[in-house]
Amino acid sequence: MSNRILSVGSTFPAFKKTSVVSLEKGNEFYDITSEDHKNAEKWMVMFWWPKDFTFVCPTEIAEFGKHVEDFADRDTMLIGASTDSEFVHLAWRKNHDDLRDLQFPMLADTSKSLAEELGILEANEKIAYRVTYIVDPQGIIRWVSVNDLSVGRNVGEVIRVLDALQTDELCPCNWVKGEATLA
């Protein structure tokens, strides 16, 4: 199997998936769609991890959780995703101190249909690579970052790139919000 990862300039695929949004009984689950961020006229950051109940994944998820307000301040919906079920996500959140109070949905792609359409499944286990997408309010992929299974990502870099994309101007190497752009 060769990966053909959906990349910059492509339309993010349509989806409707169940996600975990709360630990409150009766309010744990919510169906999230590809239209939600577009209807709200917001950007979307969707980050994928390989498996729940592992070691690197919670460090990334917790770090994204620490920056949920940074994404909200940038009119951006933050969505975490894996191919585990919503019930596994819920159990993991209940079981892991760093995940209990997350303020963003954990999307469950149990059919692997979205991950497959994105081209992000590892060939042998058919689990998602550590992939991050930044999608604009029109549903166009503007940035993709892919890490191998063993390497966590840098949430600060995701925010930096989001800031740069939202300027709609030319941003030089290592540019950060507040610095001059090139145009």
Catalytic residues: 57
Strands 76-82 and 106-108: parallel
CA–CA–CA angle 93, 98, 102 (5° rounding):
60
Are residues 32 and 23 in contact, defined by beta-carbon separation less than 8 angstroms? no
Are residues 107 and 32 in contact, defined by beta-carbon separation less than 8 angstroms? yes
Residue 38: which of 17, 57, 56, 15 has the closest Cα?
15
Are residues 42 and 128 in contact, defined by beta-carbon separation less than 8 angstroms? no
